[in-house]
Structure 1
Amino acid sequence: MKFAHLAQGLVVAQSTLVLSASALSPPPFARAIRRAADFTFDLFQGPQVQDDAAVEAATDLTYTTGGGIPHPQPYAALRAGDNGPLLLQDFHLIESLAHFDRERIPERVVHARGSGAHGYFQTTTDVAKKYSAADVFQRVGEKTPITVRFSTVGGEKGSADVARDPRGFAIKLRTKKGILDWVFNNTPVFFIRDPAKFPNFIHTQKRNPQTNLKDHDMFWDYLSSNAESLYQVMRLFSDLGTPDGFRHMNGWSGHTYKLVQDDGSWHYVKISAYTDQGVKNHTNAEATKLAGENPDYSTQDLFQAIERGDYPSWTVYFQVLTPKEAETFKWNVLDLTKEWGPEDVPLQEVGKFYLTQNPENHFAEIEQAAFSPSHLVAGFEPSEDPVLQARLFAYPDTHRYRLGVNYQQIPVNCPFNPVANFQRDGAMVVDGNQGARPNYPSTQEPINFSPRPHSDGNHTEWVGGAIRYLSQVTDVDFKWPLIFWNSLSDTDKEHLVENLSGHIGDVKSETIRNRQIDLFTKVDPDFGSRVAAGVAAAIAAA
């Protein structure tokens, strides 16, 4: 940033003052201001120097304070004599302690435990451009820089990354027309379809407020009372719930989105990413052993694979329905607890993505990464899925809390195309704050607006008054659990029953245990009886 305009403004103000007072030559201080105006500098030279220094070896640098002042000894402290008290004037010591006290930012309330890497997405077919005007899909072969973060959902930041838990699978695409975030999980469905249930559901997956321990009664009390969770529960307690690292699992959008063309026509879409490494899972025994011996297994596996040049990749598919097809589809297309089977809605390849670059600094590039399903480019729109609608608010809100209102200025979140709007100031502005441009829609210096290619007038219409809605469980909610059960091999069924029996066997409440077993019995009587027998055996052995 140049400071010439600031100095010129001072010159104008000073000249006006002098001429109004007399016709004499400007006083000496005014001449000094004019001479100072000959000097300008780039305010962002400092950050650029720090970026350059970040990749230099320690042996090429000299130890300094945060202000760049060389300091002779990081372990030494100023004190009054050999045995006297410390001196408050020791800025280095004070700075070190004060910064250390503030090193931790709030961890994510969910998806706290994670790791990730960078790479690129490449459009491989013209399928997507048939449905969407999104620029990223218009040129086959074009590469788009991405950042991907994998995570567990319920565990704290220091928990094992091999735990039985769904995995977050978030992808940030830096398109030429802005940031597009795909905020996936490694499951095609989720436990809820009513957004108001989410905070309470997560509370039951965390820790008991009195004991601060994981509580199996809390865990199963919620799930047994909300039967729409059944399909996700069964996936979680199968071996799919303990994937072999992050490289060997698939990802799904779960939610339904809309693909929109320039003429306003649109389709419903679900997005998936299938691993090119092949799906691999741990058994419960293997995952439990790893959690004790190497709780960072998944993080280590990803990092070391990229370091040795074994770059993981995934193939991205769209499943597409017209609005008319959605009206008669066998599942409610806005229900997050229902999968679209490939036999019903074919997978259409749109691209691939590769992870080719490990972070240089995990905190800067992964911990500060901020993904949100509301980060959508033209050609993508949210559907009316109520859980998705809630996430559109919740995700940016948590980023503003965790990272600050200017989180999109952090390099890992920053788009590669210019940002121009009227948002200014706030905590931790780390760029030019959009300079001297007007911070309102000015008629003197009007900003350009991107024309909307179509009218929203008849794009989507709703009829009805405001209601307080809560979905109800019906027989339809037991169909996908049965499909899943019937798709399992005998070994997979055995593992699912064993994993469920051991976990439910730790539930103290007989009412909760029986309520959950009844749900499994309604899916399939043999399934229910096997879990009941396994729970009884687990209790007897305890």
Structure 2
Amino acid sequence: MAIDESAAVPQTASAETAPAAGAKQEQLAPYRVDKTGTRLTTDQGIPVDDTDNSLKAGPRGPSLLEDFHLREKIMRFDHERIPERVVHARGSAAHGYFQPYGDGLAAFTAARFLTDPSVRTPVFVRFSTVQGSRGSTDTPRDVRGFATKFYTDEGNFDLVGNNMPVFFIQDGIKFPDLVHALKPEPQHEMPQAASAHDTFWDFVSLQPETMHHLIWLMSDRALPRSYRTMQGFGVHTFRLVNADGQTTFVKFHWTPTAGVHSLVWDEAQKISGKDPDFNRRDLWESIEAGVYPEYELGVQLIPEQDEFAFDDLDLLDATKIVPEERVPVTPVGRMVLDRNPDNFFAETEQVAFCVGNIVPGIDFTDDPLLQARLFSYLDTQLTRLGGPNFAQIPINRPVAPVRHHQQDGFHQDDIPLGQANYHPNSTGGGCPYVPGVGSFPEAFTHRPELVDGHKARKRAESFADHYGQAMLFWNSMSAWEREHIVAAYRFELGKVAYPHIRQRVVAELNRIDNTLATAVAAGIGVDPPAAVSVNDGRNSPALSQADQPKAGIAGRKVALLAADGVAATSVAGLKDFLEANDAVLEVLGPVDGVLRTAEGGILPVTRAMNTVSSVLYDAVAVPDGDEAVSRLIGDGLALHFVAEAYKHAKPLAVLGTGDRMVEAARLPVYTTSDRVEGVSSKPIAAALDGVVFLAAGAPVDERFTTDLFDAIAAHRHYDRPVDGIAA
């Protein structure tokens, strides 16, 4: 099961040793159309003299049928839309590359893109919400898709995963029922992009296998701060196959190098109104700024002979994880997203992920959910993209050569040469030829496996435990994570109209933990249940976001509230510190334009305060300067901005006399006794619940920036007393 430790050492390949690095970008080049400096034409290349007026019989007469430009323009407009995805409709994507650290996986798989550190494999990654339509928002409580298309030199490999390592159901035959219950209710098509309604909770309360995934959904994992700070999982157990045909079970993990961070529910709801494109904007702007999202690929490897070594889980059960304490995750490579799409529709919308796209060295297992997805994804693309030739769409084309005898159909873009369109043939010299059995790894060879059993519609007994891993997840949470989970259940069930559904959910939660069930019951008008099971106390620290390693502050956005009279020196120091660490400072003023500084200069305003909100930033700073602070204290919007950021547990940088604003906002971190002769006596320390103070007139020095760096890197400070904050 062990991997050579050299696999965990990053290695950088030069352009000369990375043959696939630019392959996909070069392949897309012929399809890019630069319309600048060119004449307007029809689809047939006919120049157009006027595209603002239809051809009429007289200026006020009827439009004429012979106006071919009008007919073509309207026809093309009428057919611009294609069917949206049934799930994962709202997405955002980016190009990049994957590169293995070393050859540590060579003993387990023949897949070269996982074992040759000299190869940079181009990738296209699409992130998405699951339940909402294309027009929904980015920040609902929902699972997030994390789908990666590897354009390997042996064909496309699609790792189609989520930001949660488990799924609701064990067998794909239940997928239509799950999605029907989760989507808006059929009688009135409400609610959009929300699971807080009767049909969803009715379904999950009657389907106990959903309990594990459900508690993940009620956690902060369902509210990622950004796609850059979101984990990804392959969900299923796959097989790795080496050159000798030997197999090893594998689970795939993506871990962001920027850390794993989430929003809080109140914040997520407000973001939906302030900026419904919050996550996709963050991804786009980060790449444009050169702060490239990066993820480490890790694997859990289980020898084939250990398939039945776990007495409390089945490797084929997609509702279960293999705890990292039992099988560690070994890092094997990194993925960097460094280029935005050229066109959203042509790439992000038309990309077709299929679970069945695998390459030599990787194979499936008999997971019944995975088996159904093998059919479903291909079937869906046929309808959504208009026919069987969707693989010829530029974003879907592999960099590996494509040679076969498939022909015709809608949108056939190739012009096949020769007489032979069948196999075997002699008119085409027998080409394209079939390498034959035994040519592995040059050709994909299905692993020979003995299958024996009576036909029956039933589940394996090893799939029967629906509560043990939900209990493991609950036990692994920190105090603040548990509070958020209880609040989420209360919010969701508070939207359920039927009392018996609420009662049934609480009864199911009681099978997980009585404390959880009692706390939820207390908030939704349900009688608290008596304990029916004993919590076994097992936990897995890797499941808690509180235990995730803290990364740097690259890409974090900090809002500085400012007004006329702001002290420019401290602003400049703060800006230099943030930019040196690839973070962003935005100056928010009462209006757009410039501000007059205390030193007599001007300070450009990035945005007017009333056009944004604290929920759009990772941290908030209040300025030094008596006049500026007095103006801000008189602005209820500014005071709410600070109080709301504090309530959402965000870091605060308090510069000099800005401490008056903290006091005016009635934050419990500050009182008048902390000030001596108008100067803050607060120490320069981030230990005060993530609030970092700088004395009036003091320079932004290393001591201050170190504490502020740590406060921002921690992302949130949930130990604050926030219940009394009016925000």
- 1:20 alignment partner in structure 2: none
1:428-473 C-alpha deviation (Å, 9 max, x unpaired) = 1012246544333213421222344379798311221211124679
- 1:56 and 2:34 matched: yes
Contact 1:227 1:473 in 2 (8 A): no
Q: Work out the CA distance in 1 between the residues paired with 2:260 and 2:131.
A: 22
- 2:594 alignment partner in structure 1: none
Q: Work out the CA distance in 2 between the residues paired with 1:264 and 1:273.
A: 26
- 1:453 and 2:438 matched: yes
- 1:332 and 2:332 matched: no
In the TM superposition, what is the alpha-carbon distance from 1:125 to its structure 2 partner? 2.3
- 1:293 and 2:274 matched: yes
Counterpart selection for 1:116 from 84, 87, 93: 93
- Corresponding letter in the other structure for 1:378: P
The secondary structure found in structure 2 opposite 1:429 is coil
Q: Work out the CA distance in 2 between the residues paired with 1:436 and 1:240.
A: 56
**Aligned runs of 1:73-472 on 2, under 5 Å?**
73-214=50-191, 216-330=197-311, 331-403=313-385, 404-433=387-416, 436-444=419-427, 445-447=429-431, 448-453=433-438, 459-470=448-459
Contact 2:287 2:340 in 1 (8 A): yes
Q: Work out the CA distance in 2 between the residues paired with 1:79 and 1:271.
A: 62
In the TM superposition, what is the alpha-carbon distance from 1:369 to its structure 2 partner? 0.3
- 2:560 alignment partner in structure 1: none
- Corresponding letter in the other structure for 2:292: Y
Q: Work out the CA distance in 2 between the residues paired with 1:480 and 1:53.
A: 48
Q: TM-score, normalised by structure 2?
A: 0.65
Q: Work out the CA distance in 2 between the residues paired with 1:317 and 1:465.
A: 37
Judged with a 3 Å threshold, the aligned counterparts in structure 2 of structure 1 residues 475 and 416 are, in CA distance, closer, same or farther, namely: closer
In the TM superposition, what is the alpha-carbon distance from 1:288 to its structure 2 partner? 0.3
1:477-532 C-alpha deviation (Å, 9 max, x unpaired) = 21111111111111111111011101101111111111111111111110100000
Contact 1:256 1:333 in 2 (8 A): yes
The secondary structure found in structure 2 opposite 1:127 is coil
- 2:471 alignment partner in structure 1: 482
Q: Work out the CA distance in 1 between the residues paired with 2:375 and 2:417.
A: 25
In the TM superposition, what is the alpha-carbon distance from 1:135 to its structure 2 partner? 2.2
In the TM superposition, what is the alpha-carbon distance from 1:68 to its structure 2 partner? 1.5
Contact 2:95 2:125 in 1 (8 A): yes
The secondary structure found in structure 1 opposite 2:178 is helix
Contact 1:263 1:454 in 2 (8 A): no
Tell which deviates more after alignment, 67-76 or 394-403: 67-76
- Corresponding letter in the other structure for 1:287: A
1:354-380 C-alpha deviation (Å, 9 max, x unpaired) = 101101101111100001110000111
Contact 1:272 1:318 in 2 (8 A): yes
Tell which deviates more after alignment, 459-468 or 334-343: 459-468
Contact 2:314 2:462 in 1 (8 A): no
Q: Work out the CA distance in 2 between the residues paired with 1:366 and 1:472.
A: 41
Judged with a 3 Å threshold, the aligned counterparts in structure 2 of structure 1 residues 486 and 283 are, in CA distance, closer, same or farther, namely: same
In the TM superposition, what is the alpha-carbon distance from 1:263 to its structure 2 partner? 1.7
The secondary structure found in structure 2 opposite 1:310 is coil
Contact 2:245 2:447 in 1 (8 A): no
Contact 1:230 1:478 in 2 (8 A): yes
- Corresponding letter in the other structure for 1:453: G
- 1:498 and 2:481 matched: no
Amino-acid identity (%): 39
Q: Work out the CA distance in 1 between the residues paired with 2:310 and 2:461.
A: 19
Contact 1:185 1:251 in 2 (8 A): yes
Contact 2:317 2:463 in 1 (8 A): no
- 1:528 and 2:517 matched: yes
- Corresponding letter in the other structure for 1:304: E
Contact 1:420 1:434 in 2 (8 A): no
The secondary structure found in structure 1 opposite 2:252 is strand
Q: Work out the CA distance in 1 between the residues paired with 2:210 and 2:493.
A: 16
1:365-423 C-alpha deviation (Å, 9 max, x unpaired) = 11000011100001111100011011111101111111121000011110112111111
- 1:41 alignment partner in structure 2: none
Contact 2:104 2:115 in 1 (8 A): no
Tell which deviates more after alignment, 456-465 or 364-373: 456-465
Contact 1:276 1:314 in 2 (8 A): yes
Specify which structure has the bigger relative contact order, considering alpha-carbon pairs within 8 angstroms and separated by 6 or more residues. 1
Contact 1:168 1:185 in 2 (8 A): yes
Aligned-residue Cα RMSD (Å) equals 2.1
Tell which deviates more after alignment, 134-143 or 115-124: 134-143
The secondary structure found in structure 2 opposite 1:181 is strand
Q: Work out the CA distance in 2 between the residues paired with 1:521 and 1:344.
A: 27
Q: Work out the CA distance in 2 between the residues paired with 1:232 and 1:504.
A: 16
- Corresponding letter in the other structure for 2:361: G
Name the structure with the higher helix share: 1
Q: Work out the CA distance in 2 between the residues paired with 1:172 and 1:266.
A: 23
Q: Work out the CA distance in 1 between the residues paired with 2:258 and 2:274.
A: 25
Contact 1:228 1:473 in 2 (8 A): no
Tell which deviates more after alignment, 458-467 or 237-246: 458-467
- Corresponding letter in the other structure for 1:183: V
- Corresponding letter in the other structure for 2:430: P
1:317-365 C-alpha deviation (Å, 9 max, x unpaired) = 1111112111122310000000111111111122111101101101111
Can you give the 5+ residue segments of structure 1 that lack an aligned partner in the other structure?
Answer: 1-47, 538-542
Contact 1:194 1:471 in 2 (8 A): no
- 1:511 alignment partner in structure 2: 500
The secondary structure found in structure 2 opposite 1:523 is coil
Q: Work out the CA distance in 2 between the residues paired with 1:460 and 1:293.
A: 54
The secondary structure found in structure 1 opposite 2:149 is strand
In the TM superposition, what is the alpha-carbon distance from 1:73 to its structure 2 partner? 2.1
Judged with a 3 Å threshold, the aligned counterparts in structure 2 of structure 1 residues 255 and 52 are, in CA distance, closer, same or farther, namely: closer
Contact 1:153 1:165 in 2 (8 A): yes
Contact 2:252 2:297 in 1 (8 A): yes
Judged with a 3 Å threshold, the aligned counterparts in structure 2 of structure 1 residues 136 and 87 are, in CA distance, closer, same or farther, namely: same
